[in-house]
Structure 1
Amino acid sequence: MTNPFNTLRDRRLAEATREFHARGKSVVRCPTCQLAQYACICPYRPELSSRNEFVLLLHRNEVFKPTNTGRLIADALPANTRVSCWHRTEPEPELLALLADPQRHCCVVFPDDGDGPSQAHAPLADPLQHTTFLLLDGTWKQGRRMLRLSRWLDQVPRLTLPDALVRGYAVRKSLHEHQLATAEAGALCLALAGETAQSETLLDYFSLFNLHYKATRGCCPAPLGDLHQRLLRKRG
């Protein structure tokens, strides 16, 4: 199935008026995972299904970044992921229609700072409930700005991931304890929705991405280990 993130990236590349150069532009990258060819993670990409879905609302700077982790959600859950570029005053009509759909349970995943309506922090009560998680995909500063300036998001409930859930999984150091990579946030949303197996697999895929990204920066293949074997077994 087509990865919706890569579809957006290809469209933006076709529209671009100048060539984009990522850090390490001399690296020969896999066109799909954007890591060095010798560190490609495509053979380990999980194939997941979910009763829930994600909307990745990307800051324009994120589309071309090889460090972006939102793409991992689109990789693993292509049928359950929608991708849209953020615009302060002119959001895509399809996105507005999705958020206004009375048949959907939508929420913006972001820490509660008192600026908007907040969702309960407990696991979703109905195990059959379908939830649309909207993830603001950018730096922490960009995400806060996107939320603050998007008046069309004012009426969408905000979901704050429970402290215990966030503290129970921490791969990276961040300036604030609630700061998570987009893929981490997506995995914890699945855990909150009761989809533990999908959550654990997405977290494994995120950990693998980190390992192979370090290998790309170090100009050497990533060492194979239990993480690789675990993801291969889940594919098989």
Structure 2
Amino acid sequence: MARSVILAGTIRCDGCCLPPRWCLCAALRPVVSPVAVDVLIHRRENWRPTSTGKLVARTLQGSRTHVYQRVDPPTLEAIARPDRELWILHPEGEPVENLLPRPADQPAPQVLLLDGNWGQAGEMLRAVQSWGRLVRLSQTGASRYWLRSQERLDQFSTAEALIAVLQSLGDMEAAAQFGLQFELHVYATLRARGHKEGAEAYLKGSRLPEAFPEFLTQLNERRRNPSEPGISRMGPYPQPERLN
């Protein structure tokens, strides 16, 4: 277990970055997609338990993460994948709709997500914008990322950007499954912060109760320390029910 850099002395799971009481690792379901995804995480964001960039890394199979540091930033050679066109997601890019469908003779895209706040994303963009094509997503509605106040109304979390990417590229199944992992992360973090009413309100607009009914029930039970006699750690759970 690691200790939180947000709340000094708080012990957190090395996997999901939540306190052991709210650990989600038993519900982690790897998401498989042919979409190539890399996440560039700002060094300050890398240590935040609420980072959804790290959620992408531990959930989406084949994804890669790179930590951005101003004094020693990643290189194009370290990030670019062979035979792929690099798409850098940013609101200043061209609409993704203009690039779809992809011609058969064009390389498949590699998506680079910038994980950080608005200022940090701008700093990272200046370092990488010459590497590939800037692309923006057409995201509407309200963000489901209830853990931080957004600086702009058109801002969404890194995880939500990935969901929109998967949908735009036609991988609806992966988008739906990753969306469940994202919302589970938000819900458990709200509970870990003591925001029970907010967490319950969050569930009202979510498909989590359908997908993880048993896990949510046990997650919300008051438990003694798992090391106490007669108390076992939360075990593995079945795959979430397929939602039509």
CA deviation profile, 1:8-28 (whole Å, cap 9, x unmatched) = xxxxx9xxxxxx752233333
d(CA) in 2 for partners of 1:161, 1:68: 20
* Secondary structure at the counterpart of residue 225 of structure 1: helix
TM-score, normalised on structure 2? Answer: 0.72
* Aligned-pair CA distance for 1:92: 3.2
Q: Aligned AA for 2:143?
A: A
Equivalent in the alignment of 1:9: none
d(CA) in 1 for partners of 2:71, 2:80: 15
Alignment map for 1:65-104 (pairs within 5 Å): 65-79=48-62, 81-88=63-70, 90-93=72-75, 95-96=76-77, 98-99=79-80, 101=82, 103-104=83-84
In structure 1, list runs of 5 or more residues that go unmatched. 1-12, 14-19
* Secondary structure at the counterpart of residue 135 of structure 1: strand
* Aligned-pair CA distance for 1:97: 5.3
TM-score, normalised on structure 1? Answer: 0.74
d(CA) in 2 for partners of 1:108, 1:201: 23
Higher RCO structure, 1 or 2 (CA under 8 Å, sep 6+): 1
1:192 counterpart (161, 168, 185)? 168
Equivalent residue pairs, number:
206
* Secondary structure at the counterpart of residue 211 of structure 1: helix
In structure 2, list runs of 5 or more residues that go unmatched. 201-207, 216-237
Equivalent in the alignment of 1:211: 187
CA deviation profile, 1:177-203 (whole Å, cap 9, x unmatched) = 321111111111111111111111111
- Structure with bigger helix share is 1
1:202 counterpart (157, 178, 202)? 178
Decide whether aligned partners of structure 1 residues 157 and 230 sit closer, same or farther in structure 2, where only a CA change above 3 A counts.
farther
* Secondary structure at the counterpart of residue 123 of structure 2: helix
d(CA) in 2 for partners of 1:105, 1:125: 14
* Secondary structure at the counterpart of residue 32 of structure 2: coil
Say if 1:107 and 1:132, in contact at 8 Å, map to a contact too: yes
Decide whether aligned partners of structure 1 residues 59 and 193 sit closer, same or farther in structure 2, where only a CA change above 3 A counts.
same
Say if 1:110 and 1:160, in contact at 8 Å, map to a contact too: yes
CA deviation profile, 1:41-87 (whole Å, cap 9, x unmatched) = 111112211111111111111121111111111121132x1111124
Which stretches of structure 1, 4 residues or longer, exceed 6 Å deviation after superposition?
none
* Aligned-pair CA distance for 1:123: 6.6
The answer on 1:167 being equivalent to 2:113 is no
Alignment map for 1:1-236 (pairs within 5 Å): 21-79=4-62, 81-88=63-70, 90-93=72-75, 95-96=76-77, 98-99=79-80, 101=82, 103-112=83-92, 118=94, 120-122=96-98, 124-126=100-102, 130-148=108-126, 150=127, 152-162=128-138, 166-168=139-141, 170-172=143-145, 174-218=150-194, 225-229=209-213, 232-234=238-240
Greater Rg by CA: 2
d(CA) in 2 for partners of 1:177, 1:91: 29
Say if 1:56 and 1:135, in contact at 8 Å, map to a contact too: yes
